[in-house]
Structure 1
C-alpha cells in the first residue's frame, strides 16, 4: 500500500469556538484532534452538541463519516517503520540472526546501562491537563503495546511487548520481570502456554501486516514460572527467521501451528529439535526460498519471487499472510485458517484441512457466507475462537471493501455447529457494538475502523456463550451475542460521568484503546481475564460488573508499579531541571503521547515518583533545551510541533488562552509520520525541522505560533526529511522520496559552505534510508550519516550497498564507509561525543568507537537487544537511549 505522506494542515475556528487541526489531503480528523476539539467545546458548555461538531468537521474539509485518521496513521507508521528497514527491497531470511551472531563476537566497553523509565507512567496525571493532553480520559497507568498474553491458574501471567520481549508476573499482574532480554529479537508476535506448562514465544509482530523484518523464530521455555528464555530455546532452525508470526496454536497436545506471513508451518509440540514443516501457502509462486540449518530446501523460490519479476519481492510480502489458525477441539487433525490481506485479494478467505500431515494438498478453500459477504475476497483480517468443547466457532471479521470507510468491521459471527462451513450467524456489527456503551462517535469514527490492526477474540473456558472481543475497545457478551457491553471503552470523554476535575469525575477506569491480545487465568483463586493493548495489560474478573452504560466498574491496570516497561519511544530529550535538582527526561511514544520524568539524578535515581503525559496521542520526535529541560519541542505526528516552557504543566486549561503549549506546525505538504526535529548544538535557542521543506526557528522558546518558523530550503517535490542535524548554523538534512520500496530514492542536503544545496552522492553510497545525522562540534565540515536497513547480502533491491555509518570531512562532497567491524544491522541514530568518540544506535545494540580507533565495541552492558531509535548526550554527563519497546536507558558517556 502507498504510504500517506501528503498531509496539509490548517487551523480553523467554528462558531462554537472549536479549533481543529486537520489533515487536509484526505480531510480526515484524528481521534486525538477530535478529542481536543470536543474537550474545548465540552469545557465551555458541558454537553456534546453533535450538530455543532458535524458543522466544525465540514468546515475543516472533512467528511464526518470518514473521520478515521487514527486508522490511517496506524497504517502509515507501520509501513514507514518497515520501509526504513527494507527499502529499496525486502529482507531475506536470516538477516537478524546473522547480526545477532556478529554481535556476540564483539567486546563491550566499560559502563552499565540503567533503566530510566522503570517508574509508573500515569496517562491521567493531573499535573498535565494542557490543551493538547488526553489526561483524565481514563487510561490510567500505561506502558507500550502488548501483542501476546498467557496466564495459568496459579497467579502467573506472561506478556509479550511489540518490541520489548516477554515479562512474567507471579501475582496476576504487577511486579513484572523481563525474561527474554537475551534473544536476538524482542518483537512479540504471540505468546501461548502449552498443555505441558511450557511457554511459547513467537517473535515477529504481525500488526504491520506487511514486509517481514523483525522475527527470529519461535522459542519454547520449559519452566516459565522460574526460568528465562535463552537463544538455545529456539524451536527448529532459521526457517522462520525474518517472518512475522501472528498466532501460534496447539492441536491435540502434540502439534503446534504457526500463522506467519509466509504461510502455515507446524512442529511437534513436545520438542525443540527438528525443522518446522511447511504446511500451506495459498500463493506458492510468491514464496521465497527457505532452507533449514543444514541447507535443505524446505520451500523452493516461487516463480514470482526475486529477480523473476520487477515487483516480485515487494508484492510478495502481502500474498501469503495467515491471520489465524484454529484447531478443532473435537478433532486435532481438523485445522481451520483465516488467510488474507487486509485490503483484499482473490486468495482471501477461510481454509481448512482434515489431515494437516498431508501437506499443501490437504488444504482447501471454503465457500462461506458471512452476512452480506459471499465473495471470499472481501473477507479480510480474521480471528477465530472455538469454545472449549468445539461446539461453537466464533469469528471476528474485517471487510477489505470497507477499509476506507468509518468502520472496516464486517461483524462478529458464530457457527453454532462448530463447523467453519457454517451456517454463520452475525451476532454483532459496528452499530450494535456502538450502542453497547462504546465511546466512539458513530458519525465520524465507527467501531472497527481499525479492525485490520487491532483484534482479539476468546471464549470463556467455562461458558461457551461468554465471549470477549477486542477491537479499538473491549466488548463482552454472556449470551452468545444477544447483548453486548463495552467493558473497556475507548476513553471516558464522551460520557456524562466525565469531568476534567478528578473530584467531580465519577467514571470508572476506561483502559487504553487498540486491543491486541487476551488471556483467561486465575488470580488469588478468582478467574480473571487480561486484555493487552497499546497501553499495556489490564485485568478484571471473568464474571465482572458493569455500570448502566455497559462499562466495567472493576477494570484495573497492571502497570501501576512501573515494572512493565514496554514503552515504545521514538525520541528522548534531556535538559536541566529548575534549581538544578537533576534533569528532565522526556520523549515521544507510540500512542502514548509524550512522557515527562523530572528530577532524574546523574546516578539514575528519580525524584519524580511517576511520569506524566503533557501531550496526547502519538508522540513523535522531540528536543529539549539543555539549560532548562521544561523548554521542550514535542511533535504529535507529521511535523505538528508544539512548544512549551513548563513541560506543558497545567492542571486544567479551559481554553486555548490559558494553554501552556503552543503549535508551531508549519503546514508542510509532505512530512514523514515521525518527522525530524532538532536544536542547533551550539545555539539551543535555534530549532530545525524537516518535511518537504527545511525550517528553522530562531528564539524558539519564545515562539507562540507558526509565524516564528522560517522556511529555508525545498528538498524537492515528493521528498520528505528523514533526519536533521545542526551546529553553528550549519545543517545537514537527509530525505527520501519515493520512500516506499518500489522506486526508492534518497539524498542529503546541506548549507555547509554557506548556501543550501543538494549533495551528489556517489554510487557507492547505499541506496537505503539515511536515518541519523550528527555534526562534529569542532568542525562543521565533518559529519556522519547512519544508514538503516540491511546491506546487499540480505536486502533484495537496487543499489542497497553495504555499511551502516558513512563519514564526510569536506561538507558532504565525498563520503567514506567507516562501518568497519559493525554488525550488519539497521542503524537509526548516531552521535559524536565530546571526547571525539562516536556512538551508533541500531535495531539490536548500541555501539561505540573511541576517537582514533578503527574498531567498534558494544557500548556497556545491560541494555536489552531492542531497537534504539534516538541517542542524546545530556548535561548530567550521561548518554540517553530511547528504545522502541523497552523504555529509556542511560549510561555514563564514555571518557
Structure 2
C-alpha cells in the first residue's frame, strides 16, 4: 500500500533567496521570504486526489495527450474487425438548460449578437443570438479544457487550452497550447506554446492585430515549462517570451493593454504549485508588472503594493475611459482575500482601499477567481469576481453583491455595439444583462456543457434520468431527450439514484455524504440521511449510496464504515468496521480514509464488495459478519473508483482504478473469479488513463468509462474495442446500463449526458482464459451487430 495515501502534509515550506530587486531589462527578479502553504481545499481536490493517489507529483497535460493518442489509435483499430462497435452513435440526452463553468468570452467585432465562450472542460461554443443559445465550434475529439479566448478585429479566433483556475469543486484539466481559427471556429490549427499547460488571458494590440500577447500560467504540478507573458508578432505563427517569471513555479494570469497608449501594458504573475497532498498557491513570484515599451521590458510595480511573499493570485484591470485608473486585488498564499488596491496614475503609486474580505466575497479560495472588470463608460463602476458578483459605484471604496446570477464568477464582457449590454460567465453558465450589469441578468436557454459526476436512469423508463453536477446540484431530467431539466436540491451534486421500481422515489447527495430521500421525484419534502443517521467518521466527497439489486428496500451507504438500510433509506445500521487505513493527520485537510464504492451481488445479497480511496479492496459473503481484505500486493494501491459484480455469478467481480500507469505495470481494471480472494489485471490494451466506471452486462460484455472514452471487452477482458466515435473527449465519470433496452448512459465532465445502444455480441459471454489478450476475443466482439 502506498504510504503517501494516508496522510496530508501541513505546515510551511521555506524558500530563501537574494534580496528583492527590479530587473527592467529581462523581467526577472529574486525575492527573499517564506512561502506559506496549506492543506488541500476541501471542496476542490476530489478528482485531482484520486488521479494522484499513487503519490505521483504531477497531473500533466502530456499524460492526457498520450492517453488521447492511445484512444485515437484504439478508435482507428476498432473500425476494422469491430465495425459495429465503432459505428455505434452516441446521442446527446441533455441537459441544455443547466449550463456549467464558463471561463472566457470573446465578442465578434463584425457580426452583431455573435459571441464565443470557453467552457471549462467543454471546448469552445458560439452564440448567434446575443448569448441565449450555443453551438459547439470545437472538435469533439480534441482536448476539451479551456482557459482563454480572444478575437481580432478581423475575426480571427484564438483559443488557449488548459484551465488556469486550479480546483474549485473538481479537477481542472491542463491543455496543450494555443489554437487559431481563421474561419470563426469551422476549423482550427494549433499554433504554439504546447508546454504552457494553461493559458489564462490574451491581449491584442489595438494598433496591429497580428501582435498578440498570451498569459501562460504554466503546469500546476511541475515547475518550469512555458510560463509568463508571450508575444506573437505574426498573428500566432510563432511566439517568444517577453516577461520571464521570477522563478520556476510562477506563471502569468493576466495581460492588459492600455487602449489609449498601447505601449503601456500590465501583467499579473502568480506563484503556485500543486503537490499530491498540499497546495502552495502563493509566494515570492506573485506580483504585478508594467511595460512602457510595448512589452519589450518590464518593471515590477511596488509603490504602495505588498512585497512580502504572502501574496496569492492577483487580479488587475484598467478603466477603458480613463486608462490611468487601475484596480487590483490579491489573496493570501493559503487562500483568503488579502487586500484591494487602486492607482490613479497608471500604476506609479497605489493606495489600498477599505474593501473587506466580506465585501470581496472570496470565501477561503481567492485563487479560484483573480478577475475584476471596469465599466467601459464609468471608471468608478467596478465589478469583482467572487462567490457572488460584487459591484462598486464609488471607485472600489466599497462593494455590494449583485443578485440574480449563479455563484463563482469568472468572466465579464461588455458589448461595444450595444449600449449597457454585458455578458457574464460563471460556474452556472452564461448570463446577459441589458442594464449594464446592475441587474436584470438573463440566463442562457441552451448551453449543453454541464460537468457531471454521476447519472442514473429509471429502471421503469430509461428516458427518466437524474444526475449530479459540479456546483450545479442534483438535477432531474424527466422530460425526455432535449427536454428541460429541473434542479432537485444539493450543493455540488454527487450520487443521485432512482428507486428501481418507483421512479418517484429519488435519493440525492451533496458533497461528503449529505443526502436526502424524496418521494416526490427529488422534490420536497425530503428526508435527510447521512451524517446524523449513519455511522462513519469520514465520508468521501462522492459518498457511495447504492441499492441492493435483489431488493430495492435494501440500500448501502458508506463513509469509512459500510451502513445498511432495510427500509429504503429511512433507518441505517453499521455492518462493517473501518475499512480504510485511518484518517488524515490534519483534520482540516482532505478526509483520506473513506470508502469510495460498494456493490452487492445481483445473485447473492450476502456478498458485497467495497473499495477505498487508499487503494484497499474488501469482500464479505455473509453480509458483513466477516470482512476480508484483498492482499495489497495484488492491487495497484491507487484509488478504487468502482466495483461491480457479475450479473450471473457472485464470485466474479470487477474493480477499476484511477491514476496513470506511466510505464509501470499498475492495472486500471481487475477481475476476481473466486469471490475476491485473488485478482487479475484485464485492462491491458486500454489507454493509460483513469478508469472511472465499469459495467458487466448479462450477455457477456464488459464496458468501462475512462477519462478518454468508453471501451468494451468480453467479460474476462483481453482485447478492448472503442465504443462509438462521436463521444466528446471529456472525462466519462459514470456509466449506467439499462438491460431491457440495452441503453448505456454516460455522464461526462463538461459535455452533459449521452446515450448509446449496446450492440448484441454473440459469443461474447464465452468464458475465456485470463492473461491471453486476443484469444477468442476478436471473434467474440467482431460478431457484434446493431440491435
**TM interval, short-chain normalised:** 0.7 to 0.9
Aligned to 2:612: 735
- From the superposition, tell whether residues 177 and 248 of structure 1 become closer, same or farther in structure 2 (CA, over 3 Å): same
Deviation at 1:531, TM superposition (A): 1.0
Deviation at 1:823, TM superposition (A): 1.5
Residue 46 of structure 2 corresponds to residue 80 of structure 1 = yes
Aligned to 1:326: 256
- From the superposition, tell whether residues 259 and 274 of structure 1 become closer, same or farther in structure 2 (CA, over 3 Å): closer
Deviation at 1:274, TM superposition (A): 4.2
- From the superposition, tell whether residues 172 and 411 of structure 1 become closer, same or farther in structure 2 (CA, over 3 Å): farther
Matches within 5 A, 1:267-346: 267-268=231-232, 270-274=234-238, 277=241, 279-284=243-248, 319-329=249-259, 330-332=261-263, 334-341=265-272, 343-346=281-284
Moved more, 588-597 or 179-188: 179-188
User: How many correspondences in the alignment?
Assistant: 676
Aligned to 2:176: 216
Aligned to 1:99: 67
Q: Aligned equivalents of 2:369 and 2:710: distance in 1?
A: 31
Of 767, 783, 795 in structure 1, the residue corresponding to residue 653 of structure 2 is 783
Residue 180 of structure 2 corresponds to residue 247 of structure 1 = no
Length-normalised TM-score, structure 1: 0.70
CA contact (8 A) 1:172 1:522 kept: no
SS at match of 1:766: coil
Q: Deviations over 1:459-490 (max 9, x none)?
A: 2334434332221222334553356553x33x
Q: Aligned equivalents of 1:237 and 1:113: distance in 2?
A: 33
Deviation at 1:685, TM superposition (A): 2.8
Aligned to 1:693: 561
Q: Aligned equivalents of 1:842 and 1:171: distance in 2?
A: 35
Deviation at 1:783, TM superposition (A): 1.7
Q: Aligned equivalents of 1:818 and 1:338: distance in 2?
A: 46
CA contact (8 A) 2:563 2:576 kept: yes
Deviation at 1:819, TM superposition (A): 2.0
Deviation at 1:638, TM superposition (A): 0.8
Of 363, 376, 394 in structure 2, the residue corresponding to residue 461 of structure 1 is 376
Deviation at 1:199, TM superposition (A): 2.0
Aligned to 2:145: 187
Aligned to 1:131: none
Matches within 5 A, 1:657-676: 659-665=525-531, 666=534, 668-676=536-544
Q: Aligned equivalents of 2:242 and 2:636: distance in 1?
A: 35
Of 446, 450, 453 in structure 2, the residue corresponding to residue 567 of structure 1 is 450
Q: Which runs of 5+ in 2 are unaligned?
A: 9-37, 80-84, 220-226, 273-279, 584-592, 761-787
Q: Aligned equivalents of 1:618 and 1:782: distance in 2?
A: 34
Aligned to 1:586: 466
Of 291, 302, 305 in structure 2, the residue corresponding to residue 367 of structure 1 is 302
CA contact (8 A) 1:456 1:516 kept: yes
Q: Aligned equivalents of 1:617 and 1:817: distance in 2?
A: 37
Aligned to 1:379: 311
Aligned to 1:422: 349
Q: Aligned equivalents of 2:695 and 2:315: distance in 1?
A: 44
Q: Aligned equivalents of 1:391 and 1:98: distance in 2?
A: 46
Aligned to 1:350: 288
SS at match of 1:175: coil
SS at match of 2:51: helix
- From the superposition, tell whether residues 645 and 543 of structure 1 become closer, same or farther in structure 2 (CA, over 3 Å): closer
CA contact (8 A) 1:219 1:229 kept: no
Deviation at 1:851, TM superposition (A): 4.9
Of 421, 426, 431 in structure 2, the residue corresponding to residue 528 of structure 1 is 421
Q: Aligned equivalents of 1:196 and 1:411: distance in 2?
A: 39
Deviation at 1:538, TM superposition (A): 0.9
Length-normalised TM-score, structure 2: 0.79
Of 414, 439, 442 in structure 2, the residue corresponding to residue 556 of structure 1 is 442
Deviation at 1:334, TM superposition (A): 4.5
Aligned to 2:757: 892
Aligned to 2:669: 805
Deviation at 1:679, TM superposition (A): 2.2
Residue 193 of structure 2 corresponds to residue 266 of structure 1 = no
Deviation at 1:218, TM superposition (A): 2.1
Aligned to 1:618: 492
- From the superposition, tell whether residues 711 and 249 of structure 1 become closer, same or farther in structure 2 (CA, over 3 Å): farther
Deviation at 1:597, TM superposition (A): 1.4
Aligned to 1:205: 163
Q: Deviations over 1:15-45 (max 9, x none)?
A: xxxxxxxxxxxxxxxxxxxxxxxxxxxxxxx
SS at match of 2:125: strand
Aligned to 1:13: none
SS at match of 2:511: coil
Structure with the higher helix share, 1 or 2: 1
Q: Aligned equivalents of 2:505 and 2:104: distance in 1?
A: 37
Q: Aligned equivalents of 1:711 and 1:325: distance in 2?
A: 56
Aligned to 2:104: 148
Deviation at 1:771, TM superposition (A): 1.3
The root-mean-square deviation of aligned C-alpha atoms, in Å, is 3.2
Deviation at 1:266, TM superposition (A): 1.6
Q: Aligned equivalents of 1:852 and 1:812: distance in 2?
A: 15
Residue 505 of structure 2 corresponds to residue 537 of structure 1 = no
Q: Deviations over 1:498-545 (max 9, x none)?
A: xxxxxxxxxxxx11111111122257x44411111111111112536x
Q: Deviations over 1:524-572 (max 9, x none)?
A: x44411111111111112536x5xxxxx2x22111x2xx2122111111
CA contact (8 A) 2:161 2:176 kept: yes
CA contact (8 A) 1:645 1:661 kept: no
- From the superposition, tell whether residues 533 and 4 of structure 1 become closer, same or farther in structure 2 (CA, over 3 Å): farther
